């Protein structure tokens, strides 16, 4: 459930630049019209960020943090994980990671963190410029890594860090867990008031929770269109179109965007327009994308007539949304944010994957074992085995990394994928 959105952002830097037209891949259906709108929104958002520094308080936020609570304070939010994905897609991962390594960060550490620290030390970024933060806001509902990483930032930048601590759900969530998280919300209000110079407005928070929920629900409906055969988009599209739900969550813009996207997708479904021309097999993706290989993989699978129709990853921003309730904003956010896939036990993950496989009529599963992301990856070998036992779904594991391409072996991956394609046909 980490952040992304790189492909869309890759587009941004191309705006205004005359690039050679890329020859359209004959395996794909017509491109989504909404992509243009997404680019506009994200360009605007990133343009604004250049003026935010000094004008508005800026927070660097982890992808799983309950950002709604920052919104009433007018805090401008930046997502380093999103930036990491962008650097990955731009193939700048190794370069920025190496900078962090020069400062003593071991190459075994999460590459989003290394990219971010590398950016901190060197100022290098493909995104123009990231506004310097006044506040760090992290939640360990996606990993403990973000806590270590943001702690380092807090030490270097000498700015406050708010950690939203979400007890891991080894079993069912308890009342005590919920009250702990609700109390943390109450404790962070005075800090946020101080950083922003604004008084907390409860009614505004309710409003943001409501909009955030509506946007997430709409995002869920967007994903659900891929239940159709052929699916109107691929998960590689979704990896890009999820940027607003991650980094503009709670803002009306995100909701408006997903409504537009949803109607386009429904239109495609009603006309039987698929993302790829010949959808022979339907696949599920597990874990964060391999950002530097997105384009290659997208063509490779399309060429095989295989389409990714669902992913545990994109689903993470829709899965727990129904818990959100503007009438009990803190309590409901505690539940929604604590029960996300990576903070929930592996049994519930297995059940979730079984459900997705059935609902989306999945024929095969590609599991990205991401060196950077232990909470997402530890347990995948057993998941693979259990899903085969229970549903006889063939699957393949790719050992790779989200952005550090130095940990990726083209040859090894190719061999594994080819074997998988053969198994799918057999």
* Residue span binding other proteins (CB under 8 A) among the ranges 50-58, 183-191, 203-211, 266-274: 183-191
Residue from 151, 259, 266, 328 touching other proteins (CB under 8 A): that is: 151
Residue from 35, 122, 132, 167 touching other proteins (CB under 8 A): that is: 167
Cα–Cα dist 120/136, whole Å: 14
Choose between 64 and 232: whose C-beta lies nearer to other proteins.
64
Q: Cβ 181 to other proteins, closest distance in Å? A: 8
378 binds other proteins (CB under 8 A): yes
* Residue span binding other proteins (CB under 8 A) among the ranges 74-82, 140-148, 254-262, 266-274: 140-148
Where helices occur in 228-311 by DSSP H, the ranges are: 235-241, 243-247, 252-270, 294-303
Choose between 109 and 336: whose C-beta lies nearer to other proteins.
109
Choose between 57 and 118: whose C-beta lies nearer to other proteins.
118
* Residue span binding other proteins (CB under 8 A) among the ranges 18-26, 44-52, 136-144, 225-233: 136-144
Cα-trace Rg, the chain: 21
* Residue span binding other proteins (CB under 8 A) among the ranges 126-134, 261-269, 276-284, 345-353: 345-353
409 binds other proteins (CB under 8 A): yes
Cα–Cα dist 366/362, whole Å: 11
Cα–Cα dist 90/125, whole Å: 10
Q: And the tokens for 266?
A: 């429904």
201 binds other proteins (CB under 8 A): no
Whether 290 and 398 have beta carbons less than 8 Å apart is answered as yes
192 binds other proteins (CB under 8 A): no
Binders of other proteins: how many residues, by CB under 8 A? 66
382 binds other proteins (CB under 8 A): yes
Choose between 253 and 386: whose C-beta lies nearer to other proteins.
386
- Roughly what angle, to the nearest 10 degrees, separates helices 329-338 and 175-196? 110
407 binds other proteins (CB under 8 A): yes
346 binds other proteins (CB under 8 A): yes
* Phi-psi group of 204: left, alpha or beta (phi > 0 → left; psi -120 to 50 → alpha; rest → beta): alpha
113 binds other proteins (CB under 8 A): yes
Cα–Cα dist 187/168, whole Å: 20
Query: Would you call 374 exposed, middle or buried from its count of C-beta atoms within 10 A (0-12, 13-18, 19+)?
Result: middle
Other CB atoms within a 10 A radius of the CB of residue 328 amount to 15
Please report, as residue ranges, which positions from 68 to 97 form the binding site for other proteins (by CB under 8 A): 94
104 binds other proteins (CB under 8 A): yes
At 214, phi and psi to the nearest 5? -60, -40
Q: Cβ 179 to other proteins, closest distance in Å? A: 8
Across the beta sheet with 135-139, what order do the strands follow?
76-78, 58-61, 135-139, 161-164
Q: Cβ 14 to other proteins, closest distance in Å? A: 22
3-state secondary structure of 415: helix
Residue 286 forms beta bridges with which residues? 367
223 binds other proteins (CB under 8 A): no
Nearest to 259 by CA among 316, 331, 267, 327: 267
At 121, phi and psi to the nearest 5? -75, -35
Whether 280 and 306 have beta carbons less than 8 Å apart is answered as yes
Q: Cβ 369 to other proteins, closest distance in Å? A: 5
Nearest to 17 by CA among 33, 2, 39: 39
Q: Write down the residue that tokens 């360990």 correspond to.
A: 140
Choose between 51 and 156: whose C-beta lies nearer to other proteins.
156
Residue 378 vs residues 368, 381, 407: alpha-carbon distances, Å: 11, 8, 17
163 binds other proteins (CB under 8 A): yes
295 binds other proteins (CB under 8 A): no
365 binds other proteins (CB under 8 A): no
Residues that bind other proteins (CB under 8 A): 94, 98, 101-110, 113, 140, 143-145, 147-149, 151-152, 154-156, 161, 163, 165, 167-168, 170-171, 174, 176-177, 179-180, 183-184, 186-187, 345-347, 350, 369, 371, 374-375, 377-383, 386, 399, 405-412
């Amino acid at each position: 459930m980490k952040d992304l959105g790189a492909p869309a952002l890759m587009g941004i830097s191309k705006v205004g630049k005359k690039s050679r037209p890329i020859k359209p891949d004959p395996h794909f259906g017509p491109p989504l019209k909404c992509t243009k709108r997404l680019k506009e929104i994200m360009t605007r958002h990133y343009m604004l960020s250049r003026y935010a520094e000094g004008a508005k308080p800026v927070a660097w936020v982890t992808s799983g943090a309950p950002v709604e609570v920052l919104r009433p304070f007018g805090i401008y939010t930046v997502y380093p994980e999103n930036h990491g994905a962008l650097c990955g897609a731009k193939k700048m991962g190794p370069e920025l990671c190496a900078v962090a390594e020069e400062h003593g960060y071991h190459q075994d550490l999460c590459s989003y963190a290394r990219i971010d620290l590398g950016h901190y030390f060197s100022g290098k970024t493909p995104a123009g410029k990231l506004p310097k933060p006044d506040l760090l806001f992290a939640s360990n509902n996606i990993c403990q890594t973000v806590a270590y990483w943001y702690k380092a930032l807090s030490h270097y930048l000498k700015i406050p860090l708010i950690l939203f601590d979400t007890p891991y759900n080894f079993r069912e969530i308890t009342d005590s867990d919920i009250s702990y998280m609700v109390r943390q919300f109450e404790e962070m209000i005075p800090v946020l008031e101080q950083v922003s110079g604004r008084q907390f407005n409860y009614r505004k928070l309710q409003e943001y929770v409501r909009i955030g929920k509506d946007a997430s629900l709409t995002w869920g409906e967007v994903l659900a269109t891929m239940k159709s055969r052929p699916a109107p988009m691929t998960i590689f599209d979704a990896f890009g179109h999820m940027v607003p739900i991650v980094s503009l969550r709670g803002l009306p813009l995100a909701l408006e965007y997903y409504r537009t996207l949803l109607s386009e997708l429904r239109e495609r479904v009603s006309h039987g327009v698929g993302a790829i021309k010949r959808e022979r097999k339907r696949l599920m993706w597990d874990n964060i994308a391999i950002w530097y290989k997105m384009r290659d993989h997208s063509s490779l699978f399309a060429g095989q007539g295989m389409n990714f129709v669902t992913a545990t990853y994109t689903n993470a921003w829709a899965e727990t949304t129904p818990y959100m309730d503007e009438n009990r904003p803190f309590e409901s956010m505690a539940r929604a944010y604590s029960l996300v896939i990576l903070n929930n036990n592996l049994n519930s993950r297995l059940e979730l994957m079984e459900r997705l496989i059935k609902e989306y009529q999945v024929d095969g599963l590609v599991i990205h074992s991401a060196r950077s992301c232990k909470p997402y990856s530890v347990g995948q070998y057993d998941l693979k085995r259990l899903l085969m036992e229970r549903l006889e779904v063939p699957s393949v594991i790719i050992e790779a990394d989200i952005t550090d391409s130095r940990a990726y072996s083209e040859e090894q991956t190719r061999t594994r994928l080819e074997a998988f394609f053969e198994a799918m046909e057999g």
